[in-house]
Structure 1
Amino acid sequence: MSHNNNSKSRKWKFEFPDAYGIMFIFLILAAAATYIIPAGEFETESSGDGPDTIIPGTYETIESNPAGLLDIFSSIVTGLTSTSQLIFLVLIIGGVFGVIEKTGAMDAMMTKVISITKNKEWLLIALVMLIFSIFGTLGIIVNAVIAFIPLGIILAKSMKMDAIVGVSIIYIGAYTGFAMSVLDPLTTGFAQQIAGVPLFSGAPERTVMFIISLIVTMTYVIWYSRKVKKDQHSGILGNTPFPKDSSESDLGKTEMTKTHALVLLTLITGIAVYVAGVFGVFGETWSLTEMAAVFIMIMVVTVLITRMGVNQSIQEFMKGANSVLYGALIIGMARSIVVILEDGMILDTVVNGMAVLIDPFSSTTGAILMFVGNGLFNILVSSGSGQAAIVMPIMGPLADLMGFPRQIAVQAYSMGDGFTNIITPLSGVLMANLAIAGIPFTKWLKFALPLVGIWYVLGIIYLIVLVAINWGPV
């Protein structure tokens, strides 16, 4: 009887669907669209080593090929298999960093930075942000910043600032690099792969944009931290600068040893070797397969240096891989949506429809609209690689029709994906960071929204310049 009463007293509560739930809803909508949107295709022309580009004005309708029930579910398998190379790369990198973190090398590096910048608070903020932004732009530590938030809080407490500063020097630092990615295989690399642009081409220009964006972001965070330093209660968090009492952590207390230094040197050397391979130093241009191989080599050398047992290293690798499994598989889930659109022969129809809408605008305005539109879409789908799988098959051909290189479309996607990550409540990483620090989301928005506005101004300026110089190669 009591069981029935409890059942009756339970009220249904709406829960916003998980990212996988959102992707599945999009998949169903895409399948339904194959019955509504006319099938069609463009004629394409080969451009040598680059992608086949569509020929403007050649779109024509063809016989429809709507998706059946089995097609919906088989597209998920097709999506996973077609992106398997990237999925395995994500799992391998996650596993390798699980091993590296176990050695204590990352924490020892932070301890060294804290020691070097003792009593130089602004230099400490700048250096910590620089380190995490480099990790972000390389795609090494993005979601994993959650593990370092307690360190940021401890640093902010020691400087008598507030929790927003603590989260910013770690999270904002990493996501500035992520938003202006230079060598992130999961966003820039994956988007270039889909668009048919040479892997990691345009790195010099992206590096310049990354440096400018980082300097501007550092200036904003330091401006806010100076304000709080003068009066700890004058910040956005008011009379509770640290809403959540964080217990003392071992983070930032590990002294640097020769072993730690060798592990970090191995990591840096491995990344440098891969970058050299990407630019053809060793003959053929390297791709994601070689990147995975290099990271496996980094792990093997790390295990030998630290004399970590084989069984323990495998356990730590599995823990690290498991920590990124969610993000890895969503790549294939997102790709399944495009599989349905392509097999249903409506992807070109979508591209043509968007081209008609954007046609009255200039190439520059078209690139900016791509950027802004992708930023809005990112509020709903905050998976960088998942988003690339959905939007780049549309944005690449759309760039052809608008008359600017696909490289610019990749940059518009990258910034659109990166900038709104720090304000979307659907980002698990953001909400986890705020929960650890005890910062209410509305309070965080007061700090982050002006920064996003600044980033958007910079993004628009970048795109204006890139379109003007016809930034390529394709």
Structure 2
Amino acid sequence: MSRPKIRRFSFPNGFVILFLIIILTWIATYIIPAGEYTSTVVNGKTVIQPDSFHYVKSTNLGLFDAFVAIPKGITDAAMLVVMIFMIGGAIRIFDGSGAIKAAIYKVSDTIGRERSGWLLAALMLFFGFLGGFPAMLESAIPFVPITMGVALSLGYDRVVGMSILFLPLIAGWSAGPSNTFSVGIGQTLAGLPLFSGIGYRMLIFVIFMAVTIFFVLRYAKKVRLDPTASIVYGSDSYQEQEIENESIPFTNRHVYILLTFIGIIAVVLYGTFNLKWGLLEMSVSYLVGGIIAGLLAGYKANKISDELLEGGKSIFVAAMAIGLARAIPIILEQGKIKDTVIHGISIALHGLPETLTAICMFFAQTVINLFIPSTSGHAMATLPIMLPLADIVGLSRQIAILAFQLGDGLTHMWFPTAGALIALLAFSKISYSKWFKFSSPYLAMMWGISILLIIGAVFIDYK
């Protein structure tokens, strides 16, 4: 008698995990008591009063209401989704013109294929800068076709293609020398000068980038030497890899297109820092840049239009992941359990020694980020409680903000509730289980370093 075949467990993809978390969050609204903090508006911002927590009647959120939160989440993220579509279309033109690939081959020929790690390191520094200073996160998603093309063209795998974009982006975002969403909002709530204490955050930025570059280059070198060492080796996405080995000549037309690309990035950075540009202005800038690049590439109007639409279509799944992830905080809000979770954690931290309080704040903010993946929402929900707690135990408010930015930032590359992660995995065709296996050692290192940096901040009385 033949033995029955045992079916292997298939780890669910990111969208399935997100859906399961939405269901679990809905179930939690029936288990966790409903509670609320009283909030007031200060300088146009809604701020929680730390001593005002009280239990309220449960809303008995229905399952249908939980499903309604999904389109609500997409609606809430509408501007961001539109921006991703528009930038994705523009990036398609820049990439489709061949200018970026031609430049890669030119650089590779100049420095030698054996030293292609220098190119990867340069790209990681660039994306680390985007994450740390203009605070780009989801808006950098459309760049993944470029980094994927770089990695595959140089003989690496899809994991490298995603990592050279996402890991430095997260590292820069977490260090946050001038991150408006974490440090900026935090210091505003704390009554500190905007971006004060930047010297210590710059040190964190340098350390985080060094660790990130080391981690990714070590893996990339291993994959180049032995393709079977790839995390995704043997998977369908690995079989689909198409590595173009034929060199593309680098022409003057390519130079003009690349200068346009660099110019648009410079314009966006200038607008972000000096003109208070938001997603709308960024979207239009890339769209205009894409049209100019199409004209320089010799495309006719119909071709430019087709490329813009194709670029948007290719990024559709990634854009929808952002909206889907937004459903989770909506259910927490409607079920009135978000404040209960925060209140419980604040009670557990009360009365601990200074250094231990700071470390526990970091881990508490890490846990909360699973449920509130929006950095600005996370800051507004937790810092009004954590800042007074820091005052009580004798910690500086700057340290409370540091614990928040590190706890909030790093797990954006690990928690499935982070829309940017699921979006990039969907586009890169990397399963969540494979990414989990690859990124867990990196996150463990970054957590260890973060704890040492928080201890150092307490030791020097970082203010």
Q: 1:112 to 1:397 in 2, by over 3 A?
A: same
Q: Which 5+ residue runs of structure 2 have no aligned equivalent?
A: 131-139, 388-396
Aligned to 1:6: none
Aligned to 1:322: 313
Displacement after TM superposition at 1:456 (Å): 2.9
| Inter-partner Cα distance in structure 2 for 1:245 and 1:74 | 38
Residues 87-120 of structure 1 show CA distances to partners (whole Å, capped at 9, x for unaligned) of 111111211111111001111221122122137x
Aligned to 2:134: none
| Inter-partner Cα distance in structure 2 for 1:75 and 1:95 | 28
| Inter-partner Cα distance in structure 2 for 1:127 and 1:317 | 28
Displacement after TM superposition at 1:469 (Å): 8.6
> 2:343 is matched with which residue: 323, 344, 352?
352
On the 8 A contact 1:176/1:213 being kept in 2, the answer is no
On the 8 A contact 1:129/1:172 being kept in 2, the answer is no
On the 8 A contact 2:84/2:315 being kept in 1, the answer is yes
Aligned to 1:89: 83
Displacement after TM superposition at 1:339 (Å): 1.4
| Inter-partner Cα distance in structure 2 for 1:274 and 1:40 | 42
Residues 426-460 of structure 1 show CA distances to partners (whole Å, capped at 9, x for unaligned) of 97967997989xxx969x96x87654443333333
RMSD: 4.6
- The one-letter code of the counterpart of 2:21 is F
Q: 1:37 to 1:418 in 2, by over 3 A?
A: closer
| Inter-partner Cα distance in structure 1 for 2:323 and 2:15 | 11
Displacement after TM superposition at 1:53 (Å): 2.2
> 1:295 is matched with which residue: 286, 289, 306?
286
TM-score using structure 1 length: 0.71
On the 8 A contact 2:86/2:312 being kept in 1, the answer is yes
Aligned to 2:15: 20
Q: 1:73 to 1:366 in 2, by over 3 A?
A: same
Q: 1:177 to 1:374 in 2, by over 3 A?
A: farther
On the 8 A contact 2:264/2:286 being kept in 1, the answer is yes
Displacement after TM superposition at 1:467 (Å): 7.3
| Inter-partner Cα distance in structure 1 for 2:411 and 2:342 | 19
Report the more deviating stretch, 209-218 or 317-326: 209-218
On the 8 A contact 2:35/2:339 being kept in 1, the answer is yes
On the 8 A contact 2:359/2:403 being kept in 1, the answer is no
Q: 1:303 to 1:427 in 2, by over 3 A?
A: closer
On the 8 A contact 1:367/1:463 being kept in 2, the answer is no
Aligned to 1:130: 122
Aligned to 1:62: 56
| Inter-partner Cα distance in structure 1 for 2:127 and 2:364 | 27
Report the more deviating stretch, 75-84 or 22-31: 22-31
> 2:381 is matched with which residue: 382, 397, 413?
397
Q: 1:227 to 1:274 in 2, by over 3 A?
A: closer
Aligned to 1:380: none
| Inter-partner Cα distance in structure 2 for 1:196 and 1:94 | 33
- The one-letter code of the counterpart of 2:122 is L
Displacement after TM superposition at 1:299 (Å): 1.1
Q: Is 1:73 aligned with 2:64?
A: no
On the 8 A contact 2:149/2:161 being kept in 1, the answer is no
Aligned to 1:311: 302
On the 8 A contact 1:419/1:455 being kept in 2, the answer is no
Report the more deviating stretch, 355-364 or 136-145: 136-145
Q: 1:192 to 1:388 in 2, by over 3 A?
A: farther
Q: 1:432 to 1:63 in 2, by over 3 A?
A: closer
Aligned to 1:388: 373
Q: Is 1:266 aligned with 2:251?
A: no
Q: How does 1:314-463 map to 2 (within 5 A)?
A: 314-361=305-352, 362=354, 363-370=357-364, 373=367, 388-389=373-374, 393-394=377-378, 396-403=380-387, 404=397, 409-418=404-413, 451-463=442-454
| Inter-partner Cα distance in structure 2 for 1:81 and 1:394 | 19
Q: Secondary structure at the match of 1:52?
A: strand
On the 8 A contact 1:194/1:392 being kept in 2, the answer is yes
Q: Secondary structure at the match of 2:312?
A: helix
Q: 1:228 to 1:40 in 2, by over 3 A?
A: closer
Q: 1:298 to 1:222 in 2, by over 3 A?
A: closer
- The one-letter code of the counterpart of 1:326 is V
| Inter-partner Cα distance in structure 2 for 1:168 and 1:29 | 29
- The one-letter code of the counterpart of 2:373 is A
Q: Is 1:52 aligned with 2:70?
A: no
Q: 1:152 to 1:355 in 2, by over 3 A?
A: farther
Q: Secondary structure at the match of 1:275?
A: helix
On the 8 A contact 2:173/2:409 being kept in 1, the answer is no
Displacement after TM superposition at 1:84 (Å): 0.4
Q: 1:279 to 1:392 in 2, by over 3 A?
A: closer
Aligned to 1:152: 154
Displacement after TM superposition at 1:416 (Å): 2.1
Displacement after TM superposition at 1:146 (Å): 3.6
| Inter-partner Cα distance in structure 2 for 1:24 and 1:225 | 32
Q: Which 5+ residue runs of structure 1 have no aligned equivalent?
A: 1-8, 154-162, 378-385
| Inter-partner Cα distance in structure 2 for 1:227 and 1:137 | 26
Q: 1:212 to 1:407 in 2, by over 3 A?
A: closer
Q: Secondary structure at the match of 1:351?
A: helix
Residues 30-74 of structure 1 show CA distances to partners (whole Å, capped at 9, x for unaligned) of 22333333222112233325x322121210112222212432232
On the 8 A contact 2:99/2:255 being kept in 1, the answer is yes
- The one-letter code of the counterpart of 2:340 is T
Q: 1:32 to 1:242 in 2, by over 3 A?
A: closer
Aligned to 1:111: 105
Percent identity (aligned):
23
